[in-house]
Chains A and B, each alone.
Chain A
């Protein structure tokens, strides 16, 4: 089995005033391609820190992080940006759409930073919008959409650059149960297509959709259960 990502003794410290906070201590995880992982744990347990490291938004204090075959832990800002643009998709709790852009423009945004867009890319973005059920809202702005619709735009956006890896930070945290199911169905479908999905959640029902649940406490792995 090929690994989508590999974490080796990953640690992250934050210096807050005179104190050093060990947000993540010596974490090692192998993530095979196509895995579907829920990361759970109380707040302050290190799950957001882990997600930031996995999302190449931050660099570890020590340890190594391989994405595909590349050691990401030593990369500079420019290289990390390129990785984010080409290999990762993000879904956030608060949707994080750009308010002045239309639905279509929001979906296309990652392609723009990947270095240009072909006609096929554009067609694919339209298909993605249709897939999430917003084919008739392409010219709307985020403020004109409901929370569930905005999150569906965000899901479509995370797929625009055809990433291997989807990182979702409490994607259903702001949604009611009906829309939660819709979004999770979309994530399930993405996983069925072979993408690796890692999602952070507090909710057991959400975690139940995944194949593997990793629990964190005080910056360490408490349990790693494959269902």
Chain B
């Protein structure tokens, strides 16, 4: 019995090697199917993990309230808009809120010794560094004491420091912002830009930031911003750009978000000048999206496997016709129908298993290849790549472990299913007719 089996397999491989190109093309069909299952699932997983990671970096126990500019045709629009210090006071007292961290952002120009940098001035408190995962390179971030003070101290992001002080040590130097002069007390490490996550939260680029105590901004710059638009001056009054609320327990986030929304709605009425972002909600949405993504990718992959299977069937039908005479000979020499079925089935299984194994191996290279291709494309067509959404640009596939046995199993299954019909057709041939076949 074992002997017969070894012979069957040997014979199958031998028959396949008789038509190397044909076998190769058939294997290619299955290989592409299997590799695409693994690739598509890995890419889908990579994208959704990235999104989840970004949302998680906002903190699942946070609620973020941001000022947004009301649309111009909003009849309630006025010079003053956005969240106010009064709002902060109201939100701070919600019992489930551990603390509320306000910031105020402004576009500004920074000068030192003839160097000029246009960037973002961020008025914040000591907690801001922890909240946005900023790390200190030298000196220190805005301290607790400085947060409450109105001292002209500032902390530079790595890029601003490099551009304002190309040759000098920035620590304890002075920089100029509008008419005021600020003393540099710290320099931060480089922080990669975060990408936007749906909803109201745009991506954040930290590279042109300088940080000063929020009280200082209030005192030195004030809430009024003068903009020049089409030759006209235009004033805006914004008290706070963002409040990040940390909630005492993840389980309280959703209820607290409701309270926050209601509180703000009462204050702002119909004015659409703020947005509440709940990372936890986004996280749940992202998880649902991930499932959808996996289903979708899986379907595309299933189609390519199906095409591979049809390829196998096509080849095997041709092979069976071509070998009709051989089938007749074997039948005359005593081959049972099941022997003929097995003979052809073994061939399709060999094809699909080889295709499956190669597909899995190539599937595993998904990560490095996608990253490599992405880097090449960025070097080659930086403009086009730059316009792509951030999730796509920073895509890093993550292989879903279950996709490997799954893809392999499906490929073997497809080999058997699509090989069965040609094999049965071969076995059901009339031996006499088959022997007469030219």
Chain A residues close to B by CB (< 8 Å): 52, 55, 57-58, 77-78, 81-82, 84-86, 88, 90, 92, 96-100, 109-110, 112-117, 157, 161
Distance of B19 from chain A, by nearest CB (Å):
10
Q: Point out the residues of chain A lying under 8 angstroms from B7, CB to CB.
A: 112
Question: B428: nearest residue on chain A (CB-CB)?
Answer: A77
Choose among A57, A82, A117, A161 the residue that contacts B431 (Cβ–Cβ < 8 A): A57
Indicate the member of B3, B14, B334, B431 with the most A CB atoms within 10 Å: B334
Given A98-B329, A100-B18, A77 and B337 touching (CB < 8 A)?
yes
Rounded to whole angstroms, the CA-CA distance of A84 and B334 in the bound complex is: 5
CB <8 Å contact, A113 and B330:
yes
CB <8 Å contact, A96 and B1:
no
Choose among B4, B18, B329 the residue that contacts A116 (Cβ–Cβ < 8 A): B4
Distance of B223 from chain A, by nearest CB (Å):
88
Choose among B14, B18, B339 the residue that contacts A113 (Cβ–Cβ < 8 A): B339
CB <8 Å contact, B432 and A96:
no
Q: Point out the residues of chain A lying under 8 angstroms from B326, CB to CB.
A: 98-99
Give the interface SS of chain B, mostly helix, strand, loop or mixed: helix
Choose among A99, A100, A113, A161 the residue that contacts B336 (Cβ–Cβ < 8 A): A113
The A/B interface has a contact count, at CB < 8 Å, of 66
State which residues 318-377 of B face A: CB under 8 Å: 325-326, 328-337, 339
Question: B427: nearest residue on chain A (CB-CB)?
Answer: A77
CB <8 Å contact, B435 and A92:
yes
6 residue pairs from A and B, CB less than 8 Å apart: A52-B432, A57-B331, A84-B331, A96-B328, A112-B7, A113-B334
Rounded to whole angstroms, the CA-CA distance of A207 and B56 in the bound complex is: 94
CB <8 Å contact, A96 and B325:
yes
Question: Does B152 lie at the interface of the complex (its beta carbon under 8 Å from any beta carbon of A)?
Answer: no
Given A57-B431, A96-B435, A98-B326, A86 and B334 touching (CB < 8 A)?
yes
CB <8 Å contact, A109 and B435:
no
Question: Does B15 lie at the interface of the complex (its beta carbon under 8 Å from any beta carbon of A)?
Answer: yes
Other contacts beyond A57-B432, A98-B330: 14, CB < 8 A: A52-B432, A57-B332, A77-B336, A84-B333, A85-B334, A96-B328, A96-B329, A96-B332, A97-B329, A98-B326, A100-B18, A113-B333, A113-B335, A113-B336
Distance of B319 from chain A, by nearest CB (Å):
12
Given A96-B325, A116-B4, A109 and B15 touching (CB < 8 A)?
no
CB <8 Å contact, A81 and B4:
no
Choose among B3, B15, B334, B337 the residue that contacts A100 (Cβ–Cβ < 8 A): B15
Question: B15: nearest residue on chain A (CB-CB)?
Answer: A100
Rounded to whole angstroms, the CA-CA distance of A160 and B330 in the bound complex is: 14
CB <8 Å contact, B432 and A110:
no
Q: Point out the residues of chain B lying under 8 angstroms from A92, CB to CB.
A: 435
Q: Point out the residues of chain A lying under 8 angstroms from B4, CB to CB.
A: 112, 115-116
Rounded to whole angstroms, the CA-CA distance of A55 and B431 in the bound complex is: 11
Distance of A65 from chain B, by nearest CB (Å):
16
CB <8 Å contact, B3 and A117:
yes
Indicate the member of B14, B326, B328, B332 with the most A CB atoms within 10 Å: B332
Question: A108: nearest residue on chain B (CB-CB)?
Answer: B7
Q: Point out the residues of chain A lying under 8 angstroms from B435, CB to CB.
A: 57, 92, 96
Rounded to whole angstroms, the CA-CA distance of A173 and B1 in the bound complex is: 38
Q: Point out the residues of chain B lying under 8 angstroms from A77, CB to CB.
A: 336-337
CB <8 Å contact, B333 and A109:
yes
Rounded to whole angstroms, the CA-CA distance of A84 and B14 in the bound complex is: 25
Rounded to whole angstroms, the CA-CA distance of A157 and B334 in the bound complex is: 12
Q: Point out the residues of chain A lying under 8 angstroms from B3, CB to CB.
A: 116-117
CB <8 Å contact, A81 and B15:
no
CB <8 Å contact, B334 and A58:
no
Rounded to whole angstroms, the CA-CA distance of A109 and B333 in the bound complex is: 7
Q: Point out the residues of chain A lying under 8 angstroms from B336, CB to CB.
A: 77-78, 81-82, 113
Rounded to whole angstroms, the CA-CA distance of A92 and B333 in the bound complex is: 12
Rounded to whole angstroms, the CA-CA distance of A168 and B49 in the bound complex is: 72
Distance of B384 from chain A, by nearest CB (Å):
53
Distance of B17 from chain A, by nearest CB (Å):
9
Distance of A179 from chain B, by nearest CB (Å):
21
Indicate the member of A52, A77, A82 with the most B CB atoms within 10 Å: A77
Question: B3: nearest residue on chain A (CB-CB)?
Answer: A116
Question: B339: nearest residue on chain A (CB-CB)?
Answer: A113
Q: Point out the residues of chain A lying under 8 angstroms from B328, CB to CB.
A: 96
Q: Point out the residues of chain A lying under 8 angstroms from B331, CB to CB.
A: 57, 81, 84
Rounded to whole angstroms, the CA-CA distance of A109 and B431 in the bound complex is: 16
Given A100-B18, A112-B4, A55 and B334 touching (CB < 8 A)?
no
Rounded to whole angstroms, the CA-CA distance of A82 and B337 in the bound complex is: 11
Choose among B15, B329, B339, B432 the residue that contacts A58 (Cβ–Cβ < 8 A): B432
Q: Point out the residues of chain B lying under 8 angstroms from A96, CB to CB.
A: 325, 328-329, 332, 435
Rounded to whole angstroms, the CA-CA distance of A117 and B3 in the bound complex is: 8
Rounded to whole angstroms, the CA-CA distance of A115 and B3 in the bound complex is: 9
Rounded to whole angstroms, the CA-CA distance of A114 and B336 in the bound complex is: 10
Given A96-B325, A116-B1, A78 and B431 touching (CB < 8 A)?
no
Rounded to whole angstroms, the CA-CA distance of A115 and B8 in the bound complex is: 12
Given A96-B435, A116-B1, A116-B3, A82 and B334 touching (CB < 8 A)?
yes
